[in-house]
Amino acid sequence: MSASSAPLPELTANGFALDTSHDRLAELSPSNHLLGDPDALREAMDEHGHLFFRGLLDPTVVNAARHEVLLKYAILGEIDDRHPLDDAIAGDAGGVAGANIRAFSESVRTGARYLAVTDAPEVLGVHTALLDGEVKSFDMRWPRFVRPGEGCGFHCDGPYMNRGTSRIFSSWIPLGRVHRHEGALMLLEGSHRSERLHEGYLRADADRDGLTWLDDDPSVVLEQYGTRWLTADFEPGDVLCFGMHMLHGAIDNRSPVGRCRLSSDSRYQRVDEPADPRWNGADFDGHGGRRVFYPGLGRWNNADFQDEWKDVDECGRLELRETP
């Protein structure tokens, strides 16, 4: 049986089987019909905590950003060169050791084609409508490269970026096609109004309080904070926007052909409101110290996967330790 005809794998999150019955996992509903009506967009965001747009961006622009990012990961051996580059088949990452990951990470998140996606007029326009004024994206942007076997823990964005204005929205943008078994994002329906989250977790400051992911089991998280998980098979051009109180995570990437998931997280606020200095300004330093945003690492540092910020030495090299 060829890889293309192989049965799709079971959906999991953090290694736990995902209940796919309709009352536990449902499809995201597009919000395209609200475009051009700022009041309706704001009302829908307030009610649902998210907006999902099919084909908001030109797929050609998105695929160009994908190609740009993949070229850089290929230099580190993260892409298997026996396959076409844009297939994003995972390599052995043989070039990671000894590379200046600080410079690499900056080059990925400041690439011209990547910025053409995060700061596209269509994306800025949605956030301008939501915030009723001129907006900017955070200076820190989070391009993500999720290898087979990796995922993303459950969390809300609020505690990680709450030292400036509270009026912030996130946009998750797939850089290419992302089917759910390849690591699609999922939101927890109704969680933005969870009293339990507002009374505890959402009052925290991630750095001050040493915050980590919520429970790894998606069934436990669902029972505690929401009603159903919402996800989709994403196509290039799709954009998913949500607020700081929306609980979310990712389905594990269980691509049967070994494809890596590429996506982008970016945040937006009004230009005339205070910005969290951890993520904005000429000298922003994220979580501080000699730390670089480089999620996952395949066979390295898997025990520390939930900490997406890795320690580097004075030359920007990761401190790698291989796990069995």
Residue 318 domain-assigned (yes or no): no
* pLDDT value, residue 322: 57
Q: State yes or no: pLDDT of 131 exceeds 90.
A: yes
Residue 312 domain-assigned (yes or no): no
Residue 241 domain-assigned (yes or no): yes
> Residue 166's domain spans which residues?
11-301
Q: State yes or no: pLDDT of 41 exceeds 80.
A: yes
Task: Please give the structure tokens belonging to residue 296.
Answer: 């996952």
Strand locations in 130-254 (E): 135-137, 142-146, 152-155, 169-174, 185-188, 229-231, 239-243, 248-250
The per-residue pLDDT of the chain, averaged, comes to 91
Residue 313 domain-assigned (yes or no): no
- DSSP class of 185: E
Task: Please give the structure tokens belonging to residue 78.
Answer: 């993260």
* pTM of the model as a whole: 0.94
Residue 307 domain-assigned (yes or no): no
Q: State yes or no: pLDDT of 2 exceeds 80.
A: no
* pLDDT value, residue 321: 62
Tell me the pLDDT band of 130, cut-offs 50, 70 and 90.
very high
Residue 244 domain-assigned (yes or no): yes
Q: State yes or no: pLDDT of 230 exceeds 70.
A: yes
Strand locations in 16-134 (E): 16-17, 25-27, 50-53
Residue 324 domain-assigned (yes or no): no
Nearest CA among 247, 251, 217 for reference residue 233? 251
Find how far residue 50's CA is from the centre of its chain.
14
Residue 141 to residue 125: CA distance in whole angstroms: 18
* pLDDT value, residue 308: 78
Q: State yes or no: pLDDT of 226 exceeds 70.
A: yes
Number of domains into which the chain is organized: 1
* pLDDT value, residue 7: 65
* Residue type present at position 157: D
CATH number at residue 203: 2.60.120.620
Q: State yes or no: pLDDT of 207 exceeds 60.
A: yes
Q: State yes or no: pLDDT of 249 exceeds 90.
A: yes
Provide mean pLDDT across the span 45-57: 98
Find how far residue 208's CA is from the centre of its chain.
23
Residue 105 to residue 177: CA distance in whole angstroms: 23
Least confident of 6-15, 165-174, 226-235: 6-15
Tell me the pLDDT tens digit for each residue of 277-312: 999 998 888 887 778 888 776 544 445 444 678 888
* pLDDT value, residue 199: 93
C-alpha pair distances (Å), 287 with each of 83, 145, 179, 276, 277: 36, 20, 31, 12, 10
Would you call 232 helix, strand, or coil by DSSP? coil
The residue among 312 and 51 whose pLDDT is bigger is 51
Residue 147 domain-assigned (yes or no): yes
